[in-house]
Copies of this chain bind each other. A is one copy, B any other.
Amino acid sequence: MYRTKTCGALRLTDLNQAVTLAGWVQKARKFGGMIFVDLRDRYGITQVVFNQDVNSGLCDQAAKLGREWVVQVKGTVAERSNKNPNLPTGEIEIIATELTTLNPSDTPPFTIEEDTDGGDDLRMKYRYLDLRRTSVRSNLELRHRMAFAVRSYLNERNFMEVETPVLVGSTPEGARDFIVPSRMNPGEFYALPQSPQLFKQLLMVSGFDRYFQIVKCYRDEDLRADRQPEFTQIDCEMSFVEQEDILNIFEGLTQYLFKAIKGIDIPTFPRLPYADAMRLYGSDKPDTRFGMQFIEIKDLTTGKGFGVFDSAGYVGMICAEGCASYTRKQLDELTDYVKRPQIGAKGLVYVRYDADGTLKSSVDKFYSPQDLQGWIDRAKAQPGDLLLILCGEVEKTQKQLSELRLEMGARLGLRNKNQFNCLWVTDFPLLEYDEELKRYFAKHHPFTSPKPEDIPLLESRPGDVRANAYDMVINGVEVGGGSIRIYNSELQQKMFSVLGFSEEQAQAQFGFLMNAFKYGAPPHGGIAFGLDRLVSLFAGLDSIRDCIAFPKNNSGRDVMFDAPSTVSQEQLDELHLKITLPL
């Protein structure tokens, strides 16, 4: 028994108790004939006092303590004269009677404090020390609590957590699969699953009815800013359900999480059809913490001699409240922002609706005050507002305007990390047209079911067919998505034919599931949440990396372990593999 209490436990009510604590030396400072040591563990910090006058030997011992030493202290709880209201233990201190060094510590390469002096790279190399910092550890604690709450909610609703295999078969479409050579089956490979999609659908065929799993998935792809080669999903599937049933259960889960973890009541989620999301926000994952919806003015702008607008398929704007006072410099900044190659707009048109009611725009040459007033009216703008207008090809321009809207939201402080706006985006298109390959692809996967009322369009206007597919979006982040699956083989055949699969191709790629479906597949559907993303959102983090204990960097490397690494020739020989890299 190394301790009787943790460093976060003691209060004034414990006065005069004899206690034993153990932990790390956060800091030690001398003050007169006293040494004060802040002793830290996962649960908190407790001040320990050594008094030269009372026990000079012990005090000398304490004087030798360095940062991050691990010590055990015996002593008595006393009231502090100089209380610290910022610490739960700040009203007491321990008058030490015994001190044991359990382990000394070298000077750590950076300070273990919130405001650490360690740079990103150094902290990742010594991740085990970075994890000592309270904020980093709290992210992991939050992750634990969220995963536990998810399991509790689903368990209570008859969901079974089933572990699906990690060493699976490589599939023809699995171009981004990690593969694993098998020693026992030389020349053959397992793959790591990109998701348990196939298995969860099989479990529905098996009659498991309600499945979930918090499960690692793997994707060997170039890592953009916020991706990891291994990531964690809350993967769910239900039988005998329609879209409405899934939305209700998982809206409930999200509300439960917000309440249990953050004490926040989230109202019923608005539902926004994909088409409206694109029209109003130019995004299928709109940040709805603020309005600033798109206003189309193509009809109001055409035929006035401004060729740029006239030739554009789309002219749309947002109204930035109270921004009429923006300076030339600020407007130029915004123009530069939308012209950045990542966004790619040609230019930015503005209309200032000054507080005195006058209108000023960058296109005054072409549009009369009356014309501009028409735009103002449509935007329901108020004096003091600023209209920002982009034009061009519809989809591209909506995407650019969406970026501009997010930027303005940020500039105006409308994207508060402590405010949470949840919604469902529904009615996604079933198919996406690939201009290059001149054919349709399934937007989600080929087992996603079309809306029954759109089935007649499958052959005539496939691009207009809406799917029983949905995404959960919170603060502009897609935290989850799923669909109701096709379980009827006739409809599946039709779907494959629309996708241009021959029967052989369909059989080769999806034959396995199609065969399973022959033996009585129930209607079913599901959803998967990105746990990393959900935790980041709850923690207000900018990167999912901060809620992962041992993340990899952008090159997929673990810099702490220096993995991946080379392996021995013997190991390769045993696997009958040879590396063909040029020397």
Give the B-binding residues of A (Cβ under 8 A).
Answer: 1-3, 6, 22-24, 40-43, 68-70, 102-106, 108, 126-129, 131-132, 137, 140-141, 143-144, 147-148, 151, 155, 160-170, 172, 175, 177-192, 199, 202-203, 205-210, 216, 218, 220, 222-223, 229-230, 232, 240-242, 244-245, 487-488, 512, 516-523, 548-550, 552, 555-558, 561-568, 571, 573, 575-581
Contact = CB atoms under 8 A, between A and B. Distances in A.
Contacts of A520: 24, 68-70, 103-105
Given A22-B240, A22-B522, A179 B179 contact: no
A160 B144 contact: yes
Nearest to A144: B160
Nearest to A72: B240
Nearest to A563: B169
A131 B208 contact: yes
A563 B163 contact: no
**Nearest 9 A/B pairs, CB to CB:** A169-B563, A105-B520, A131-B206, A2-B240, A188-B564, A169-B561, A42-B209, A68-B520, A182-B564
B557 A523 contact: no
A378 to B, nearest CB: 42
A220 B573 CA distance: 15
A57 to B, nearest CB: 23
27 contacts: A2-B240, A42-B207, A102-B487, A102-B522, A103-B521, A103-B522, A104-B520, A128-B202, A129-B206, A131-B203, A163-B549, A165-B230, A165-B558, A167-B218, A167-B229, A167-B558, A179-B180, A179-B571, A182-B556, A183-B220, A185-B555, A187-B579, A190-B563, A199-B549, A199-B550, A573-B580, A577-B577
Given A22-B522, A68-B519, A165 B3 contact: no
Nearest to A488: B103
Nearest to A6: B209
B148 A161 contact: yes
Contacts of A230: 165-167
A561 B487 CA distance: 20
Contacts of A147: 161
A566 B105 contact: no
A216 B104 contact: no
A199 B580 CA distance: 33
B207 A24 contact: yes
